[in-house]
């Protein structure tokens, strides 16, 4: 069965054909949208990506489902990479990172770490 997911916002640039799509239905807790790890469900494998203006779509294949899940509109959609093909580190000499806090409350960032491999070596 093929399932088409449509998004209003552009898709993550690292999403590739062959990645696994997961979904989890969220609920309210303490003013935040939360979900438990045990509620995470595998939707399928990415077969096609269309990232056109205002028509951001992912075609997902799942050969075990006969009916698409009904709660996908209210779910948090995420993806994972196949670790057989994506084992390299970040490469290059320059990186730019931007951290945003969209809360109205103060937040502190204690540490940031990274693994970087020089691309010319």
Is 95 within the bounds of a domain? Answer: no
Question: Please, which pLDDT band fits residue 9 given cuts at 50, 70 and 90?
Answer: confident
Is 91 within the bounds of a domain? Answer: no
Note the pTM of the prediction, 2 decimals. Answer: 0.65
For residues 28-37, one letter each, b for 16 or more C-beta atoms within 10 angstroms of the residue's C-beta and e for the rest, the string is: eeeeeeeeee
pLDDT tens for 89-112 read 656 667 778 888 888 888 888 888
Containing domain of residue 14, as a range? 2-86
Q: What is the structure's pLDDT at 21? A: 93
Q: For residue 29, what are the β-bridge partners? A: 32
Q: How far is CA 48 from the centre of its chain?
A: 15
Is 72 within the bounds of a domain? Answer: yes
Is 54 within the bounds of a domain? Answer: yes
Is 41 within the bounds of a domain? Answer: yes
Total tally of structural domains belonging to the chain: 1
Distances (CA, A) of 77 to 17, 44, 84: 16, 11, 22
Is 67 within the bounds of a domain? Answer: yes
Is 93 within the bounds of a domain? Answer: no
CA distance 88 to 80: 15
Is 56 within the bounds of a domain? Answer: yes
């Amino acid at each position: 069965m093929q399932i088409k997911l449509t998004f209003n916002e552009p898709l993550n640039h690292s999403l590739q054909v062959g990645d696994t799509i997961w979904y989890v239905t969220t609920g309210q807790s303490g003013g935040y949208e939360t979900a438990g790890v045990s509620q995470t469900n595998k939707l399928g494998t990415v077969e096609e990506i269309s990232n056109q203006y205002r028509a951001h779509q992912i075609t997902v294949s799942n050969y075990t489902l006969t009916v698409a899940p009904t709660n996908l509109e209210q779910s948090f959609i995420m993806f994972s990479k196949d670790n057989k093909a994506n084992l390299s580190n970040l490469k290059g000499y320059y990186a730019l990172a931007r951290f945003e806090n969209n809360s109205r409350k103060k937040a502190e960032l204690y540490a940031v770490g990274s693994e970087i491999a020089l691309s010319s070596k």
